């Protein structure tokens, strides 16, 4: 048995381990390039997913069908040599369909656990708003706790663990919108838009050249990391230095959403926490061991866009959350030193 003194000594050594941001940043840049070579035309989306992964958070994606959400998760899973699973959410999906259940095995005359698809490294929860609230809550509980409880037994999910949940912004009939309290569990919300003209030409050429079907081939994608490497990078990103002035800047942005004209409901304290976590990950990707105000400003939009509710008057005027947040960021003073 390891003594408490040895435990404390090990923790102290871990805290004192230097953050090798330059070499780790180069590895991450190689990973991003490999994904961008296949996932054409969505550089910002890849950047934001990498930030969420290194910040150990989950992603909510909004975009019309056919823009490559499944491809992105498959690419990321193969690149880190991790497990991948996909759940198509439907109105009749039950919580046990995603978490698993206890079943009786007639061959052994014993009860055994059938693990659900949530036991993976990267999970695509497709059209999460088509499932009823009970099923949505089951997934969100796993996201928060990183474990599933079956018959009183807690079963952890593999690490790293990232859920990318998607919702369609067009077809809202027969959907169950996520409540604000559940939306708050996602560290960022990404909006995927159509690619540019030249990028769409490249995409069509890549899919239709010497290939059967309409799926991108990922056979040539190299395994650049292992899951253990990602966990190590997450711990390294968590060590990135954040000055009090920069942290206060993040809090000021969040608090400003609570009294900004046109916002009926502002972001809660989890918004400020998410901004700092994502800013650390973003700085780490850039090869720095400290967070700047620009890092905070860069990640603030995807962190906050699903945490505020516009007033009916603003919606009638055709304003959206992104435009309101951008205007807000311009009015909050950033620290100069």
Q: What is the CATH number of the domain that holds 292?
A: 1.10.8.80
Can you tell me the distance from the alpha carbon of 91 to that of 134, in angstroms, rounded to the nearest whole number? 11
Domain count, the chain: 2
Residue 247 in any domain: the answer is yes
Can you tell me the distance from the alpha carbon of 328 to that of 266, in angstroms, rounded to the nearest whole number? 12
- Does residue 264 share a domain with residue 181? no
Residue 45 in any domain: the answer is yes
Residue 222 in any domain: the answer is no
- Pick the last residue of a domain from 126, 159, 186: 186
- Does residue 108 share a domain with residue 41? no
For tokens 């866009």, what's the residue? 305
- Does residue 63 share a domain with residue 158? yes
150 touches 113 (CB < 8 A)? yes
Residue 15 in any domain: the answer is no
Per-residue pLDDT of 321-337, as tens digits, reads 999 999 999 999 999 86
Residue 329 in any domain: the answer is yes
Per-residue pLDDT of 216-227, as tens digits, reads 667 778 888 899
Q: What is the CATH number of the domain that holds 123?
A: 3.40.50.300
- Pick the last residue of a domain from 156, 186, 216: 186
The pTM is what? 0.86
Residue 243 in any domain: the answer is yes
- Which residue, among 256, 260, 262, 251, has the nearest Cα to 296 in the 3D structure? 251
- Does residue 152 share a domain with residue 82? yes
Does the pLDDT at position 114 exceed 50?
A: yes
Task: Tell me, rounded to whole angstroms, the distance of Cα 14 from its chain centroid.
Answer: 26
Q: Which pLDDT value is given to residue 336?
A: 82
Residue 77 in any domain: the answer is yes
Average pLDDT, the chain: 86
- Does residue 39 share a domain with residue 84? no
Residue 14 in any domain: the answer is no
Which residue segment(s) compose the domain that 81 sits in?
A: 58-186
Does the pLDDT at position 98 exceed 90?
A: yes
- Does residue 314 share a domain with residue 285? yes
Contacts 24+ apart (CB under 8 A), 195-202: 195/40, 195/41, 195/42, 196/41, 199/40, 199/41, 200/41, 202/40, 202/41
- Does residue 247 share a domain with residue 161? no
Percent of the chain with pLDDT strictly greater than 70: 90
What average pLDDT does range 204-227 have in this prediction? 76
Work out the pLDDT band at 285, boundaries 50, 70, 90: very high
- Does residue 179 share a domain with residue 62? yes
- Does residue 43 share a domain with residue 89? no
- Does residue 96 share a domain with residue 124? yes
What average pLDDT does range 60-83 have in this prediction? 86
Does the pLDDT at position 13 exceed 50?
A: no
- Does residue 138 share a domain with residue 38? no
Does the pLDDT at position 150 exceed 60?
A: yes
- Pick the last residue of a domain from 186, 213, 243: 186
Task: Output the CA–CA distances (angstroms, integers) from residue 333 to 15, 250, 251, 328, in the order listed.
Answer: 32, 11, 12, 10
- Does residue 256 share a domain with residue 142? no
């Amino acid at each position: 048995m390891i003594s408490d003194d040895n435990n404390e000594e090990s923790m102290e050594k871990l805290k004192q381990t230097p953050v090798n941001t330059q070499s780790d940043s180069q590895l991450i840049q190689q990973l991003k390039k490999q994904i961008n070579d296949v996932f054409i035309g969505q550089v910002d989306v890849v950047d934001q997913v990498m930030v969420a992964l290194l910040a150990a958070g989950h992603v909510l994606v909004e975009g019309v069908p056919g823009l490559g959400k499944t491809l992105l998760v498959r690419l990321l899973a193969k690149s880190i040599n991790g497990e991948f699973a996909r759940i198509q959410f439907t109105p009749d999906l039950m919580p046990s369909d995603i978490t698993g259940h206890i079943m009786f095995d007639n061959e052994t005359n014993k009860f055994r656990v059938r693990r659900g698809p949530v036991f993976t490294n990267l999970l695509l929860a497709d059209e999460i708003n088509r499932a009823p609230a009970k099923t949505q809550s089951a997934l969100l509980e796993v996201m928060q706790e990183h474990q599933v409880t079956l018959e009183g037994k807690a079963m952890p999910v593999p690490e790293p663990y990232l859920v990318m949940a998607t919702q369609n912004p067009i077809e809202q009939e027969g959907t169950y919108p996520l409540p604000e309290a559940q939306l708050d569990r996602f560290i960022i919300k990404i909006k995927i838009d159509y690619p540019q003209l030249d990028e769409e030409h490249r995409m069509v050429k890549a899919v239709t050249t010497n290939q059967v079907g309409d799926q991108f081939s990922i056979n040539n994608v190299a395994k650049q990391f292992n899951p253990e490497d990602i966990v190590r990078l997450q711990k390294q990103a968590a060590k990135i230095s954040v000055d009090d002035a920069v942290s206060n800047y993040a809090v000021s942005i969040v608090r400003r959403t609570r009294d900004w004209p046109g916002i009926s409901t502002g972001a809660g304290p989890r918004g400020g926490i998410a901004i700092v976590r994502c800013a650390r990950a973003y700085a780490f990707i850039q090869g720095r061991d400290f967070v700047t105000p620009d890092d905070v400003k860069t990640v603030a939009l995807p962190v906050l866009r699903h945490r505020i509710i516009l007033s009916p008057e603003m919606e009638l005027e055709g304003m959206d959350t992104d435009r309101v947040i951008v205007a807000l960021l311009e009015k909050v003073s950033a620290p100069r030193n």
